[in-house]
Structure 1
Amino acid sequence: MPLLPVGAWLTELTPQHDRFSMSLICDLPVGIGEAELLGTLAAVLDRHDVLRSRLVRGEGGCGWELEVSAPGSVPVAGLVRRVSCDGRWRSPGWRAVAARELDAALGGLDPAGGVMARFVWFDAGGGTAGRLLIVLHHFVVDGVSWRILLPDLAQAYARVREGRAAGLAGVGTSVRRWAHALVEEAGRRGSELGYWRGVLGESEPVLGRRGLDPVVDTMATVRTVRVVVPAGVTRALLTSVPAVFGGGVNDGLLAALGLSVARWRGRERVLVRLEGHGREEVVVPGADLSRTVGWFTSMFPVRLDVSGVDVDEAFAGGGAAGRVVKAVKEQLLAVPDRGVGFGLLRYLHPVAGGELARAAQPQIGFNYLGRFSASDMPEELRGLGWTQVGEFDEIEAGL
C-alpha cells in the first residue's frame, strides 16, 4: 500500500526514523500468564493489518510503501520482553527501570525489518497486577488508534482466558483501501491548490534568533517545557469557551497562540502547522475508519491572523480576547475538509507536490491530543485491567 501523506512526510523529514514512535503503559489483569498475554497480543496483531507491516521501497526504488504480511506470520513471543519487578510503581527505582526499558524497546523497532511493535511485560508476580509497555512505530498508530487497541486487548484477553477464540470485531475500511483511495482523490484535488498557495504565499521571516540547523538542532538538544494548567482554566477551555462561541477546544488554544506570538515577536500573522486526526471519511464516500488502526494524522498550514486586535486588552481579559477567538474560529472553518487536501496535494500529487514543497514552511507546530480516560473503555470490559497509566507521560517526556 502507498504510505499515507503523514508517513511520506516522515520519510522526507529524516532517514533516521526507526525510533519515531508512540508508547503507552497499562495495568495488566492480576494473574495473567505468559500464554494468555501472548495469545491476547497475537489476536490484536492478527486483527489489525498495519501492525504486521514493513517499510519497503516502491516500484523502481521510488518512494516508500508498506507491505503487510498474513495473519499469524508475526512471531509475537519475539516481540515481548519479560522483566521481573516488585510492583512498587511510584518508586524511583521503577521509573528508572521503565525509562531504560523504553529506550531499549525503541532501539528494537525496525520498520524495514517488519518490527513495528515491541512490548515489555513488567511481571510483579501472581498476586499483583503487572504492567505492559506497548511501543508502536508511528507508521502504524495514532492517537485515535489507542482508543481501538486498548478495548481490543481487553476483549481478546476476556476470551483467551476462557479458552475461546478472540472474536474481535471486524474492520470497516482497511488502511490499504484508504491509502489507495487517497491517491485517487489527490488527482481530483487540483482546484484546491490555489487555496494553499494563498496560505503559503507570504514570506515567513525567521521566528527565533536563527533558522534550524540539522547538524546542531537534533532531538538531543530539545528542551521540553511542561505547564500544569489550573482546573478552572481547563474547565473553561474544554467546556464554557467552546459553548459560548459554538466551536471547539482548538479555537481557544490557537487564539492564545496567535496572541502570544503577536506579543512575543510583534507578528500579527503567523504560519502554523496544525495536526488533525485525518480520518475525514467524507473524502472517501462509504469509508468507515471507526475500527481501523494506523497513522492517519493530517498536517496542514494555517495562517493565524490577529491583526487589528488590541493585544494588551486581550491579555487583560477584555472584549478583544473574545474577538480573537471568534476570528480564529472562522479562519479554521475556512479550511477545506479540515486540511486533509493539503497532504494529498503535497505528497500524493505529481505536480502540486513540488510547488508546495518549495513554498514557505511553518516554524510552529500545534497539536491538541484530546483526552483519554477510563470512560473510553467499554463498560463491560472495565475491571479486566488494560487501563492506561497516565504517569508514564512523564517518563516519555524525560527521554
Structure 2
Amino acid sequence: FDVSVWEFFWPLITGAAVVVAKPDGHRDTAYLAELIERQRVSVMHFVPSMLRAFVEEPGLDRCTSLRRVVCSGEALPYDLVNRFFARLPQAKLANLYGPTEAAVDVTAWECVPRDPRGIVPIGRAVPNTQMHVLDARLQSAPVGVPGELYIGGVQVGMGYVNRPELTAERFVADPFNPGGRLYRTGDLGRWLEDGSIEYLGRIDDQVKIRGFRIELGEIQHVLSEQRGVKQAVVIAREDVPGSPRLVAYVVGDADHGVLRTALGRVLPEYMVPAAFVTMDAIPVTANGKLDRKALPAPARGGAAASGEAIQAPASDLESTLASIWAEVLRLDAVSATDNFFEVGGDSILSIQICAKARRHGILITPNQLFDYPTITELAPHARQAVATLAEQGPVTGETPLIPIQQWLLDQDLANPSQWNAAIMLEVPGRIDDLTFRRALLAVVSHHDALRLRYEQAGTGWKQRFDTPDATNLSFDTALVDHFGSVAADASIERHGTTLQTGFDLARGPVFGAVLFREREGEGARLLMAAHHLVLDGFSWRLIIEDLMLACEQIGRGESPALPAKTNSFRDWVEALTRHTRVISSSADERSWWMDEVSAAPALPVDHAGADNLESSTTVHTITLDDRATRALLHDVPGAYRAQMNDVLIAALGMALRDWVKRPALRIDMMGHGREPLGEDRDV
C-alpha cells in the first residue's frame, strides 16, 4: 500500500495517466515489455529483484518510451545498475529508501553507470527530513562508520495504533531536537564523503562468524563482480545449532573453486563462503523480494560443497579422522585435502575434534590442527592414545574453585547470581513441551557442572555439586506472535529477563530454558541461559548436542542415554591444582611472574573509583584508510606470520607503553581455559 500512495498522486499532479498491469502481470517480463510499448509507458516502479528479471527480457529494446525507472523495497545491487544502463541507455534510474512509518520514501539517489566507488547509495534526505546514523548510545557515527539509521521530520508517524510498547521502542526522543521524535528503522547505514548514505542491510542480518562481525553485502558485491556470475546472494546459515557458516547462492556458470580462490584474494579468510550453491534463479516472494526461506541448504563439505574432486583417505587412520571431522563439523563428506578452518573449523571445534579422536584411540592436539590443517598433513603426527575411563555416575560434594571462578566471585558484584550467558536456538516445532523438559533434566543430570552451588563462608567462597533433581532446572513455555515481529521480540526479552534474573548461586538453579512457540504456525525457539561460573562457550556445543540427542531418544519412546562422560570438572580442578603446585614449587618461575605482574603500572584515569560497568563505557571511533585496512587484512599475516588480532594487540601494547611511560604493562585476554597440562585428560 505505501508505495501506491505516490504512484497514484504523482500522475495526478503532473497530468499523466496511470497504467495498471493485469494481476500478477509483474511476473511476466514479456507482457510488461509489450504493455510498455503499447501504452507508451514512460515511468515505472520496480522492486530490484523484479527489475533484474525485467532487464534480461529480450523484448526490452522495444521499450523506447521508458524514460525513468524508480527502485525501492530492497537493496539495489551495483551490478544490476550497470546492467540496467546497458539495456536501457535512454532511461534514468532512481534508488529510493524509506519505511512505511515515515511516509514511505525519505532519501533519493540518481544512479549513474559504473560508479567508481562500486556501490549504490540510497542518497540524501528529501526536503523536511533529517537522516541520522547513530551508534548504540545514540551518538552520531563518523563518516564511513556503520550505524543504525534514524529518521526525523514532518513525515514521521505518530506510532502504532493500540501498540504502546512497540511505539515506545521504535519512535524515540530526538537527542538533537528537544521535543522532537525519531523513527528507529532497524537498518544499517553509513555516511559517505559526499554526504549521501550507503545502505548496509538490516541489523538483524548482521552476522558473526568465528568471532568476526561480517557485512554480507560486501561479500555479495565482490562475488557479483566475478566472471560468470550473473546474480549472487550471500547469507549466514545455521543448519546445525551453534555452527553458523556463510553460504553463497550464484546464478551463472562460474566454477566454485575459482570463485573461492578469487574471493580469497580480496577478502579476509573468514569472509569467504564455506559453501557455494549454483541456482537457475534466485527465489523471490510474491512482492518480488528475495525469498530467503526458499534458498536450499547446501551440501555440507569442503571440496564436496565446492564441486571439487574429493581425495579419499589413504589409510584407516585418515579414514577415522575424516569421520570425526564430518561428525563434528556436520559435513556430508570430507576430502583428505580439506583445510580444517576453511570448512568451518575454529579453535573451539579443534578441542572437540581432539576429544573425539581420543575416544577412537588417536592422540592429537589443537596446536597440531593449526599447524597441519588437512587430514593428509595431520595423520603422520597423530599418536596412539592410552584408553582411560572417566567417572560415569553423578558427581556430588565439594570441589575447589579454579582461579577464574575465584576471580569472578572476588569482584564483589551487586548481584553475582545474575552474571550469565544465553543462547537462542531454532528447534523443531513437532517436539512437545514435556519432551524438552525431560531432555533438559537429562542434560542437567549428565553435566555435573550445571548443578554447582556456591556459598560464601567466613573463609571465602566454596562450591559443591548438588544432587540431580528437578530443582536444578528452570523451565518455562510461552506463546508469541510470529517470530521476527516486534511483539514477539518484546515477549522473548521479557521472559528472558525473568529467566536470567531468577538464578540463585546458593540454592539454584544456575541453568534454565524458555521454550517459545508461535500461536499460529509451527515455529519454535528455545532460549537457554547458564551462569558464567558453570558453563563457557565451548560447553554450549556439547549441551546442544546432548539435548537434541535426548529429544530424539525420548521421541522414540526410549529413556535418555547420553554419550559416556569425559573427565569431570572436578577431575580438571584436581589436575589444575597439581599443575599449579608444580609451578609454585619453582621459586624462580614464581618469582619471575610476580615481578612481571607487580611491574605493570595501573593505567592513569581522570576519576578513580568509578564503577567498571558496561553502562559506564564510552566509545571513541577512528577510521583507517584503504591502504592501512588492506595491509591489516592481506599483508600482515604473511609479513609477520601472525593474525591481524596479534598485530593489533601488539600495537595497543606499544601505544599504552608510550602513554604511561613504562616498559611493562598487562593486557588481560580471554581464552577457552582448556590448556594442555601434560596429563592424559579429556576436557
* Structure-1 separation of matches of 2:523 and 2:630: 33
* Structure-1 separation of matches of 2:630 and 2:496: 33
Give the corresponding residue for 1:54: 453
C-alpha change, 1:4 and 1:226, in structure 2 (3 Å) is farther
Task: For residues 159-188 of structure 1, give each alpha carbon's deviation from its aligned partner in whole angstroms, at most 9, with x where no partner exists.
Answer: 221112322112221001111232233222
CA contact (8 A) 2:579 2:677 kept: no
CA contact (8 A) 1:80 1:118 kept: yes
- Give the deviation of 1:206 after TM superposition: 3.0
Q: Does 1:157 align with 2:551?
A: yes
Task: For residues 232-268 of structure 1, give each alpha carbon's deviation from its aligned partner in whole angstroms, at most 9, with x where no partner exists.
Answer: 9999978975565444564234134335546877777
* Structure-2 separation of matches of 1:274 and 1:157: 37
Question: Normalized per residue, which structure has more strand?
Answer: 2
Give the corresponding residue for 2:578: 184
Aligned residues: 280
- Give the deviation of 1:93 after TM superposition: 2.4
* Structure-2 separation of matches of 1:20 and 1:226: 28
- Give the deviation of 1:13 after TM superposition: 0.9
Give the corresponding residue for 2:649: 254
Task: For residues 273-307 of structure 1, give each alpha carbon's deviation from its aligned partner in whole angstroms, at most 9, with x where no partner exists.
Answer: 12211111325x11110xxxxxxxxxxxxxxxxxx
* Structure-1 separation of matches of 2:623 and 2:490: 23
C-alpha change, 1:234 and 1:12, in structure 2 (3 Å) is farther
Q: Residue 27 of structure 1: SS of its match in structure 2?
A: strand
* Structure-2 separation of matches of 1:151 and 1:116: 20
C-alpha change, 1:156 and 1:256, in structure 2 (3 Å) is farther
The match for 1:41 among 423, 440, 443 is 440
Which amino acid is 2:420 matched to? S
Q: Residue 179 of structure 1: SS of its match in structure 2?
A: helix
The match for 1:82 among 477, 492, 498 is 477
Give the corresponding residue for 1:70: 467
- Give the deviation of 1:102 after TM superposition: 2.2
Task: For residues 192-234 of structure 1, give each alpha carbon's deviation from its aligned partner in whole angstroms, at most 9, with x where no partner exists.
Answer: 31231232232514343233434xx44543457899999x999
Aligned residue runs from structure 1 range 253-292, under 5 A: 253-258=648-653, 261=656, 269-283=664-678, 285-289=679-683
Which amino acid is 1:10 matched to? L
- Give the deviation of 1:129 after TM superposition: 2.1
CA contact (8 A) 1:31 1:129 kept: no
* Structure-2 separation of matches of 1:206 and 1:87: 49
CA contact (8 A) 1:23 1:134 kept: yes
Q: Does 1:174 align with 2:568?
A: yes
Aligned residue runs from structure 1 range 193-204, under 5 A: 193-202=590-599, 204=601
Q: Residue 275 of structure 1: SS of its match in structure 2?
A: coil
Which amino acid is 2:437 matched to? L
Which amino acid is 1:281 matched to? P
Indicate the structure (1 or 2) with the bigger Cα radius of gyration.
2
* Structure-1 separation of matches of 2:623 and 2:516: 29
- Give the deviation of 1:125 after TM superposition: 4.5
C-alpha change, 1:97 and 1:126, in structure 2 (3 Å) is closer
The match for 1:11 among 377, 393, 409 is 409
Q: Residue 109 of structure 1: SS of its match in structure 2?
A: coil
Q: Residue 18 of structure 1: SS of its match in structure 2?
A: helix
* Structure-2 separation of matches of 1:131 and 1:246: 42
The match for 2:607 among 204, 210, 227 is 210
* Structure-1 separation of matches of 2:621 and 2:417: 26
Unaligned runs of 5+ in 2: 1-398
C-alpha change, 1:6 and 1:29, in structure 2 (3 Å) is same
Give the corresponding residue for 1:96: 490
Which amino acid is 1:188 matched to? V
* Structure-1 separation of matches of 2:506 and 2:668: 28
C-alpha change, 1:109 and 1:258, in structure 2 (3 Å) is same
The structure showing larger relative contact order (alpha-carbon pairs under 8 Å, at least 6 residues apart) is: 1
CA contact (8 A) 1:31 1:125 kept: no
C-alpha change, 1:126 and 1:250, in structure 2 (3 Å) is same
- Give the deviation of 1:33 after TM superposition: 0.7
Q: Residue 64 of structure 1: SS of its match in structure 2?
A: strand
CA contact (8 A) 2:450 2:511 kept: yes
Q: After superposing the two structures, state which structure 1 stretch, 235-244 or 135-144, moved more.
A: 235-244
Q: After superposing the two structures, state which structure 1 stretch, 31-40 or 94-103, moved more.
A: 94-103
C-alpha change, 1:252 and 1:19, in structure 2 (3 Å) is same
Q: After superposing the two structures, state which structure 1 stretch, 253-262 or 271-280, moved more.
A: 253-262
CA contact (8 A) 2:481 2:520 kept: no
Q: Residue 112 of structure 1: SS of its match in structure 2?
A: coil
* Structure-2 separation of matches of 1:238 and 1:101: 41
CA contact (8 A) 2:474 2:499 kept: no
Q: After superposing the two structures, state which structure 1 stretch, 107-116 or 247-256, moved more.
A: 247-256
Which amino acid is 2:647 matched to? G
Which amino acid is 2:603 matched to? V
- Give the deviation of 1:19 after TM superposition: 0.7
* Structure-2 separation of matches of 1:110 and 1:18: 5
Q: Residue 677 of structure 2: SS of its match in structure 1?
A: helix
C-alpha change, 1:219 and 1:233, in structure 2 (3 Å) is same
C-alpha change, 1:119 and 1:177, in structure 2 (3 Å) is same
- Give the deviation of 1:111 after TM superposition: 1.0
Q: Does 1:144 align with 2:538?
A: yes
Which amino acid is 1:51 matched to? L
* Structure-1 separation of matches of 2:674 and 2:634: 24
Unaligned runs of 5+ in 1: 290-399
- Give the deviation of 1:141 after TM superposition: 0.5
Aligned residue runs from structure 1 range 337-356, under 5 A: none
TM-score, normalised via structure 2 length: 0.37
Q: Residue 669 of structure 2: SS of its match in structure 1?
A: strand
CA contact (8 A) 2:476 2:515 kept: yes
